[in-house]
Amino acid sequence: MPVCHADGNADQKNTPQSRAAEKARYHPPDFSAQKRVGKASFYARQFSGKTMADGTKMNPQGDNAASKTLPLGTTAKVTNIETGKSAVVTIEDRGPYVPGRIVDLSPATAGKIGITPRKGVAPVVVAPITVPQPDGRIKLGAAAREPLETEAGIREAADDAPSGEATGTRTLQH
């Protein structure tokens, strides 16, 4: 199964300048329903109750998540590559605007998959389950078509992923 890899330089720092540049950069919508490998972080405490892109309030105990490219309403399985733990999320917001990060999770979801406040960021596989399409249809994603992966399979896919790839995407047959 093809896997998309986050573009961006993994060595870039999380600075106000890098966040502003990432936010200003155009992120085309991704309706492909392919897996992607990148870094996940989680919403800071001050975002609790704030209105998200879809109009709902951010619930730190919910399954809400943010993506720069996945359509709002997408459901996806997020798997921490280091722990093998997974959780299902719904994309309800835009972000994270830090280079190399592909998803922001609620604090509860981050905890479920082993992202601790001390660590803050972890490598993940984001596998869409359902992806709303521009014409109103729902496309089944990579996670809907495959059996649940084992921890070893997730690690194998991540080991094949290029790290710090500056531009473009690469697909892997898994």
Does the residue 12 lie in any domain? yes
What is residue 71's predicted lDDT score, i.e. its pLDDT?
A: 97
Does the residue 168 lie in any domain? no
Does the residue 134 lie in any domain? yes
Domain total of the chain: 1
Secondary element (H or E) of residue 65: strand 64-66
Does the residue 167 lie in any domain? no
Distance CA 64, CA 153 (A): 26
Does the residue 166 lie in any domain? no
What is residue 162's predicted lDDT score, i.e. its pLDDT?
A: 36
For 18, 72, 81, 128, 170, the CA distances from 153, given in Å and listed in that order, are: 33, 28, 10, 17, 18
Using alpha carbons, select from 55, 85, 86, 59 the residue that is nearest to residue 73. 55
Does the residue 42 lie in any domain? yes
Question: What pTM value is reported for the model?
Answer: 0.73
Q: What is the CATH number of the domain that holds 39?
A: 2.40.40.10
For 56, 91, 115, 125, the CA distances from 159, given in Å and listed in that order, are: 36, 26, 19, 12
Question: Which range marks the domain in which residue 25 is found?
Answer: 3-160
Does the residue 172 lie in any domain? no
Secondary element (H or E) of residue 154: helix 151-160
Q: Going residue by residue through the chain (174 aa), what tens digit of pLDDT does each one get?
A: 444 434 444 445 677 776 666 666 777 899 999 999 999 999 988 899 999 999 999 999 999 999 999 999 999 999 999 999 999 999 999 999 888 899 999 999 999 999 999 989 999 999 999 999 999 999 999 898 666 554 444 444 445 443 333 223 323 333
